[in-house]
Amino acid sequence: MNGAVFVDTSAWYAGVDRGDTNHVLASRRFQRLVAEQSTLVTTNHVISETYTLLRVRFHPTVAHGFLQRLRSSPLTRRVFVLESWEEAAEDLLVQYADQAFSYVDAISFVSMRRLGLDEALTFDHHFSVAGFALLGDT
């Protein structure tokens, strides 16, 4: 997927929460990616996690607004995780039991590998541990 970047919960959340320490950086990264017409790839698992986080920390209207922006964005590609990808993620969690990867992290790693993505907009260091380039740090 040329010109595509995986977007993690930490970046989606930081882009919404003006009080988040990464808000300004996330906003700049999103602006740059949009200007470059990059495809923003995310999974239904990441969307679920982000929606829940926004609903709990803010208000349902904030969480619903997030969903509406994703659906209306021509640059966002929502990937629905296959059962075989979930199985691979579960295997990854066993293989890397010494790491504090979440289930959604593991799903994201497998999804990125299956889609041929090597860059993620994230503030979660686990992506670099798993071998991916982090756009959120630069």
Distance (Å, whole) CA 137 – CA 135: 6
Residues in the chain: 138
pLDDT at 89: 97
Q: How confident is the model at residue 1 (pLDDT cuts 50, 70, 90)?
A: low
Mean of the per-residue pLDDT values for the chain?
A: 94
Which pLDDT does position 108 carry in this prediction? Answer: 97
Q: Taking residues 56-84, what's their average pLDDT?
A: 96
Full-model pTM = 0.93
Q: What is the pLDDT of residue 32?
A: 93
Domains and CATH numbers, the chain: 8-134 (3.40.50.1010)
Q: Where are the alpha helices (DSSP H) in 4-97?
A: 9-16, 23-35, 44-57, 60-72, 83-95
